[in-house]
Amino acid sequence: MELLIGHSPDPDDAYMFYALTAGKVNFPFKIKEFLVDIETLNKLALHGRLDVTAISTHALAYVADKYYVLRVGASMGLKYGPVVVGKGGKIELVAVPGTYATATLLFKLAMPNVKTVEVPFDRIMDAVISGAVDAGVLIHEGQITYERYGLRNIMDLGEWWYEQTRLPTPLGLDVVKSSLGMSNVKLIKDALLESLKYAIQHREEALEYAMRFSRGLNMSDTGRFVDMYVNNYTIDIGNDGEKAIRALLQWGHERGLTPEVNFILV
């Protein structure tokens, strides 16, 4: 069997999937790897086109009928997350990184009366700097580089989320197509866990690979970013991670921003 595996071309995902896609761990399936931005992965998952994929937690509200959620591989931060940045002044229009991005849902929960416009995640800083928007919600490496471009932190949505819930910020998940069957899903889960453990045990090797996807970050910044989102919650989301997913999607449903959803964790 050949599996189509999708993940974003970003340092944290590359770090996690490195050993699996490089053949460093035992895996009983052939792999076809597909690297594309997370919003595109979300949209492909809506149609069930990927066998295994990273998705935004927000997107789970729309794909839980097709995918099981793995307890391994989650991207969560405790007291930090996507950052709303600007140059100062009144905030009337804010760039967000996509319809199904968790950062977009968090922003709409935190600032429900502010208008938003979708901008590709890697163009949001440019939109803020140019004045096309008043502020932008930054994900990926923008969270640690924005000050270098003269932008200031208006709100850390992870800090805001923690203040509201005392839970980690549930940004991203790994999911497996339920039609593959539970026995195969568990094999995939075990292999992803082994891939993650390999990266942790061979950090320099995995970081060198991750740097190919770091969009200009040096080794130190790449390691810093990877450490933000490859942590204990990535190994296993735990009780707090599960509570965070359920809290986010329930809050989104109550605000009329997401459909009601039931999902299965494996």
206-242: pLDDT as tens digits: 999 988 887 777 888 888 888 988 999 999 999 999 9
Dihedral angle at the C-alpha atoms of 100, 137, 16, 210, nearest 10 degrees?
A: 130
Q: Do residues 129 and 138 make contact, with C-beta atoms less than 8 angstroms apart? A: no
CA 65 to chain centre: 20
> Would you call 9 exposed, middle or buried from its count of C-beta atoms within 10 A (0-12, 13-18, 19+)?
middle
The pLDDT-based confidence of 162 (bands split at 50, 70, 90) is very high
Place of tokens 């009144």: 90
44-56: pLDDT as tens digits: 999 999 999 999 9
- The pTM score is 0.92
Q: d(Cα 110, Cα 121) in Å, to the nearest integer?
A: 19
Is residue 140 part of the annotated active site? The answer reads yes
Q: d(Cα 123, Cα 225) in Å, to the nearest integer?
A: 19
171-186: pLDDT as tens digits: 999 999 999 999 999 9
Active-site residue, from 7, 58, 140, 253: 140
pLDDT at 140 over 80: no
pLDDT value for 104: 98
